[in-house]
Structure 1
Amino acid sequence: MEAPAGNVSVKVEEEDAPLPNYHPEYPSSPDMDITLRSNDGTLFGASSLLLKLTWGFFKTMFSLPKESPSSSSTEPITMQESTEVIAGLLNLSFRLGMPPLDSIDTLETLLRAADKYEVTSAAVMIRSVLTSPVLEASPARIYGIAYEHGWYKEAAWASSKTLTLDLCSPEAVSDLSRIDGSAIMKLMTLHRNRRDLFRERLDDIDLFPYATTTQLVCHSCEEDVDNSPWQVMKYTLVSQMERDGISTDCLDGTILEAVIDAKCPRCKRKIYNPVMLRKGLREAIKGLPDRVEFSAEEEAEAQGT
């Protein structure tokens, strides 16, 4: 006789317990007596000895007295950072490789984590790549990061790269909003001093005899001619400096055409000498301040930290 349907027992296969989600570069092993867990659940096998040697945070943590002589918790240590940040910080700590240099956001996040956990070696390696030519980042952003950490050599270098930026553009304002106020003032002062000195040199009659006059006398026929081409070019050059920076490259561009091509309405001879004009502009551009300067006290303080 068949057993009643209600008495039939069904065997349910128990599901396998999920395996721990270890990062492939930092799996669990007998040599790894510490487990770190990122904020998104990834586990990292690590050596407490190596962490004590490279992370000031863990050096302090492991030196604290335990609650009881027998307490030896194997629970993972939960970190507030993501998998990407923890992996990058461990790689930097043990000199296993640099993070990709395609994102300044990633680099800055790693640097903040290095500061938080006192990973000096990671900070040193990040500093070494801030001025890398392959790092795709706004120089204003690099300047702010370097200034914040007292890396004045890198900050000065980055400030020189901002000279082609319009500091009032939305992109620059967004980058500057991340920077300390005193750092912004130094950068703004650099740009302002360059502009004011350049404008002053454009009015130097030793460089440009016609610098401040409204009328000229034609060298060929002695006819009075209008000096407005020069005045317009002065305004254009100063405006370009604020918007795109200024360099001797502009001497080969179209910005000088109106002045170079200006002719006396009477004899049709050129009013301005192109050779002397370019020579004067080279002198006006030469020696303009090109980077933020730091006091001896600031540099000494940075070296002491």
Structure 2
Amino acid sequence: MASIDPVRKTHPLFNSREGNIVLVSAEGTLYRIPAFILRNTTGFFRALLPPLLQAAQSQSGVVDPIEVDEKDVVVERILRMLCGLETPRWASFDEIDAVITLAEKWDAPGPISVIRSAIMAPHLLQDSLRLFILASHFGWEEEAKIASTYTLTLSIYDEQHMEQLERLSTKDLMRLLAFHRRRRDDFRTFLDSDEPFNAGNATNHFCSGCGEKVDNHTWRELKARMFYEMDQRPLGDTLLGLDMEEWPESIACWSAKCRKPECGRFYYNKLVTFRDIQDCLDKLPSTI
């Protein structure tokens, strides 16, 4: 080996006698790796190492250390995968992004495939937007579809998501935004239809008890509130739950009844309406 600063430490897992290539992390840690491992697992070193090894044989017989810009946590993780060693559980997409960026730079399909099999872990699914970004970047359609479903809990147009959305290609960004918009707009179309919501949407609707014309303003206000909720959270899980029971619009709608004292019939059947709203939600597209 070429002379190495003795102050630098060698990583204990990567200090093999057969390690004729030395990688140096951004933090100065040395990683001794057999050249054949790097050549066989990465396109980058497959192209880089042969001329370096050939030059070393004809000159000093050693290869100078190769500097890597990434920190130890990234270099160690990718080398574990390249060498078939145990890989710790991924804690977050911050870890994944750093390692997969290096794997892509090195043209290392093995680590990328390992990461692909790991990103569907439940705790990573909660970071659905970053999962969608990663899956879209690599063309992993199945994972992208699953991630798109989990993004339905997000108000996608909020400013807090803008930085992440800017990482998407125009095509993938439009696919995701169109999916969210389609669920919201399709839901509104269902709510505005005469079937099954004839009691609230008919131009002229009359009380079934006395024939008095019905004022449907409470239903229209409830529809507007439900549309707003779907815009904020297209999954629709805020509808039909306990929270909805406390909306002023819900209370007004379910208590609306005929103004004739001798009649007093309620305008809307709450249980039937809930069932019909759930049917509408079930008909909405669930993935991109």
Q: TM-score range by the shorter chain?
A: 0.7 to 0.9
TM-score by length of 1: 0.83
- State the Cα RMSD in Å: 2.1
1:210-289 matches, within 5 Å, as 210-213=199-202, 216-247=205-236, 250-253=239-242, 254=245, 255=247, 256-266=250-260, 267-289=263-285
Distance 1:136 1:147, change over 3 A: closer
How much has 1:161 moved relative to structure 2? 0.7
Who is 1:191 aligned against?
180
Question: Which string of whole-angstrom CA distances, capped at 9 and with x for unpartnered residues, describes residues 233-270 of structure 1?
Answer: 11111110110224366223315443222222223321
Equivalent of 1:171 in 156, 160, 168: 160
How much has 1:68 moved relative to structure 2? 6.8
Counterpart-to-counterpart distance in 1, 2:182 and 2:55: 61
Further displaced range: 39-48 or 56-65: 56-65
Further displaced range: 68-77 or 224-233: 68-77
Equivalent of 1:156 in 140, 145, 169: 145
TM-score by length of 2: 0.88
Contact 1:55 1:120 in 2 (8 A): yes
Who is 1:140 aligned against?
129
Distance 1:95 1:228, change over 3 A: farther
Aligned with 2:22: secondary structure?
A: strand
Aligned length: 275
Distance 1:234 1:246, change over 3 A: farther
More helix by share: 2
Match status 1:41 vs 2:41: no
Q: Match for 1:117: what amino acid? A: W
Further displaced range: 260-269 or 142-151: 260-269
Structure 2: runs of 5+ lacking an equivalent: none
How much has 1:89 moved relative to structure 2? 0.6
Contact 1:263 1:270 in 2 (8 A): yes
Match status 1:60 vs 2:60: no
Counterpart-to-counterpart distance in 1, 2:56 and 2:121: 50
Larger radius of gyration: 1
Counterpart-to-counterpart distance in 1, 2:56 and 2:107: 27
Contact 1:111 1:123 in 2 (8 A): yes
Counterpart-to-counterpart distance in 1, 2:152 and 2:212: 41
Aligned with 1:225: secondary structure?
A: coil
Aligned with 1:26: secondary structure?
A: strand
Equivalent of 2:105 in 105, 108, 116: 116
Aligned with 2:214: secondary structure?
A: strand
Contact 2:184 2:234 in 1 (8 A): no
Contact 2:56 2:63 in 1 (8 A): no
Q: Percent identity?
A: 29
Q: Match for 1:278: what amino acid? A: F
User: Displaced runs of 4+ in structure 1, greater than 6 A?
Assistant: none
Counterpart-to-counterpart distance in 1, 2:40 and 2:152: 42
Q: Match for 2:35: what amino acid? A: S
Match status 1:107 vs 2:101: no
How much has 1:137 moved relative to structure 2? 5.2
Counterpart-to-counterpart distance in 2, 1:33 and 1:64: 14
Aligned with 1:135: secondary structure?
A: helix
Q: Match for 1:206: what amino acid? A: E
